[in-house]
Chain A
Amino acid sequence: MPEPVMPGYGAIDDGGDVDVAPDPGAMTPTRRLGGALGLGFWLSVGWLVAIATAAVFADALPFVGDPDSPIRDVARKSGPSLEYPFGVDSNKFDVFARSIYGARVSLMVGFATILVGFVVGGGLGLLAGYFRGRLETGLVAGADAMLAFPQLVAALAIVAFLGASVVNLILALSLLAVPALFRVTRAATLAMAERDFVTAARMVGATHRRILWREILPNVVPPMLSFGLLAVAIVIVGEGALAFLGLSVSAPTPSWGALIERGRDSLGDAAHISLGPAFMMFLTLVALNHVGDRLSRRFDIREAAM
């Protein structure tokens, strides 16, 4: 019987390499980043950077007034003007200045909470998705239980019990972030841990710690990050809700939620007192959502191309 020969085999010259690959560098992701993500993405990033910078350096910025002393030469609740873009409130405080300072608490709470979620939820998700077994079963059950509980109520109870400070606020809102990030990370880790490159890494003698850190983590960070940005928005809203109920950081430290609440009594005659900070919060949330959305879509595309 003749030796079986695969059709087409004989024709290939061993000396030549018929592999064709694109010129290295032609496809580096950074080069098409700008165009692919679109103008809206960069506008959103611009807004986030601007609001964060303004919040951090509010004391030094010339156009941000003093938020804590009443302005003498204007009427109470007077509407927006060139000098005071968001008007003044019933105590003659500059609403714009207070909104900028309010970004401090709101953004800080938002990002710090997600950071806690990343470290705790993400870390546990990574372990659960990689090691599986009883650890995973237990953690998943715990996360499900936490998600099943009405979280705003839980956060409310914690803040009411421990007292309203920034740290307690972050702690309470972490109840929201930790289980959510745990689930996202675990799902991404599960998908990655099944891939051959993890086996391949074990095959060259890598330890579990090294595999988790060097092989899996870089692959799960993109989905975590895009989800994290969306989650920041949710947490900011959560903080706003607590503040509106008077359970956020106590006055005089303003946060967006507290500022909106301040204008509640005057909604009929001076809506600008609430609308100013609400507008800033709105833009920030839209920007966060858009950036997170864009990023996740972008990572999905890359995933599909692999």
Chain B
Amino acid sequence: MTGSAQPTLAGVDDHFPIGDPSAPVVEADDLVTWLRTPRGPARAVDGISLRIAAGQTLGVVGESGSGKTMLSRSVMGLLPRRIVERLDGTVRYRGVEVPRHDETALRRLWGREMAMVFQNPLTSLNPVVPIGRQISESLAHHYDMGRDERREHALELLRSVGLPEAEHRLGSFPHELSGGMRQRVVIAIALACGPGLLIADEPTTALDVTVQRQILDLLDQQRRERSMAMMLITHDLAVVAGRADEVAVVYAGQVVERAPAAELFASPRHPYTRALLDSIPSPVQPSHARLDAIAGRPPDLVAPPDGCRFAPRCAYVTDACRVAVPELVEAQGSVAGVGGRPTREVRCIHPVASSEGLS
């Protein structure tokens, strides 16, 4: 990988973070996004709060259909208005409230302050536009840059994301690049305006396993160098391990557990987190050992189960679980974090006991 130095943001001198630089880059409170379906509202995001400081990575983990992607879209304000039934909660970017209903105002934030890396680099690049132009597109939107300046900047970006022979690639079309290289281009596009928040929505899912690590390392490196806040969305705990500072486990549109990454892996408090960790095959297991899969299917977001939403699949379920709705409360082992916010929270009335009982 080339280009370890931060590219000089030639012509981007007028870029300064909006809002209060000491505030968390992104802070979402009680986000609610319900989608309209023929059967009634689907609670894709049902009361999620999160906070990411500059230079930090929040891992958002959950299975398909748990509302991860809708969460990222809700934070961005990028929602399909036609099917949104209910939209609540606030998002603040560096202390400034994001105008989630005003697309014109949002457009000024998108790309420049918040950017996104999509799951599938095959569909997130325009097949008929050369990649150089796709990268400089956002520069043209947000900055008064000349054509040569934009080209120069695009070239620097391509080098910084480790694309070999960057000069020759500016005029290439997406189909001329491999999957990993395309994803590098997608990342370059996201980074073009030096955003404060980068949301990576399953950035490696569509990639070859051998390339996955490179892309994750690249994202990590860019986050460090630019001290961005990053939201890393994935269904794969292994992706988050060692990269996220904090992990939020999402289940049925709600956060069921939030903890510093190391602690989450060492001592999960929520039975769902624990079940997820148990379902990862381990190299020390004897061969042909039975994989601990989680029984059942993710709940129906239109009609979630009464009581705890994980109760129907939980190994430790009690009668109380099917009645009482658990709140997200401070978990065992939590300490007061920034601003008195507990470092660990769990949504379970019978949290898994302390780490002693676990392997």
Contacts and interface: CB of A to CB of B under 8 A. Distances in A.
Interface string A21-34: 11011010000000
B280 A4 contact: yes
Nearest to B217: A14
Interface in A156-202: 195-197, 199-202
Given A200-B189, A204-B110, A204-B138, A12 B123 contact: no
A1 B265 contact: yes
B141 A206 contact: yes
B39 interface: no
B24 to A, nearest CB: 21
B141 A204 contact: yes
Interface stretch (A53-61, A66-74, A213-221, A234-242): A213-221
A132 interface: yes
Contact of B126 (A14, A18, A197, A203): A197
B78 A199 contact: yes
Contact of B129 (A14, A24, A218): A218
A197 to B, nearest CB: 5
Nearest to A132: B82
Contacts of A14: 1, 214, 217
Contacts of B40: none
Contacts of B181: 19, 21
Nearest to B184: A19
A19 B177 CA distance: 9
A15 B1 contact: yes
Interface stretch (B162-170, B246-254, B306-314, B325-333): B162-170
Contacts of A24: 165, 168-169, 171-172, 176
Contacts, number: 144
Nearest to B183: A19
B180 interface: yes
Interface stretch (B28-36, B92-100, B112-120): B112-120
Contact of B214 (A4, A7, A17, A200): A17
A4 B265 contact: yes
A218 B209 CA distance: 33
B359 interface: yes
Contacts of A21: 176-178, 181
Interface stretch (B5-13, B236-244, B295-303, B338-346): B236-244
Contacts of B184: 19
B214 A205 contact: no
A251 interface: no
A1 B266 contact: yes
A217 to B, nearest CB: 10
Contact of B142 (A201, A202, A203, A205): A205
A5 B210 contact: no
Contacts of B1: 14-15, 17
Interface centre among B125, B176, B242, by most chain A C-beta atoms within 10 angstroms, is B176
A272 B305 CA distance: 81
A202 B103 CA distance: 10
A306 B359 contact: no
B111 interface: yes
Interface residues of B, number: 68
Given A205-B112, A215-B126, A6 B238 contact: yes
Chain A CB within 10 A, most for which of B119, B142, B175: B175
A199 B126 CA distance: 11
A27 B349 CA distance: 60
A305 interface: yes
Given A1-B358, A5-B241, A200-B116, A22 B176 contact: yes
Residue among A20, A205, A219 having the largest count of chain B Cβ atoms under 10 Å: A205
Interface in B65-122: 76, 78, 82, 107-108, 110-112, 115-116, 118-120, 122
A24 B130 CA distance: 12
B212 interface: yes
Contact of A201 (B108, B137, B217): B137
29 contacts: A1-B265, A1-B358, A2-B284, A4-B265, A5-B238, A6-B212, A6-B213, A7-B209, A8-B209, A12-B213, A14-B1, A15-B1, A19-B211, A22-B176, A27-B176, A196-B120, A196-B123, A196-B124, A199-B118, A200-B125, A202-B78, A204-B110, A204-B189, A207-B107, A215-B129, A219-B126, A219-B128, A305-B175, A306-B175
Interface of A: 1-9, 12, 14-15, 17-22, 24-25, 27, 132-133, 195-197, 199-207, 214-215, 218-219, 302, 305-306
The 4 tightest CB contacts between A and B, nearest first, are: A204-B138, A204-B111, A196-B124, A205-B111
Interface of B: 1, 76, 78, 82, 107-108, 110-112, 115-116, 118-120, 122-129, 137-138, 141-142, 162, 164-165, 168-169, 171-172, 174-178, 180-181, 184, 186, 189-190, 192-193, 209-214, 217, 236-239, 241-242, 265-266, 277, 280, 282-284, 358-359
Given A6-B212, A25-B168, A206-B138, 19 more contacts: A1-B266, A2-B282, A4-B277, A6-B239, A14-B217, A17-B162, A22-B176, A24-B168, A199-B78, A199-B124, A200-B189, A203-B78, A203-B116, A205-B107, A218-B128, A218-B129, A219-B126, A305-B175, A306-B127
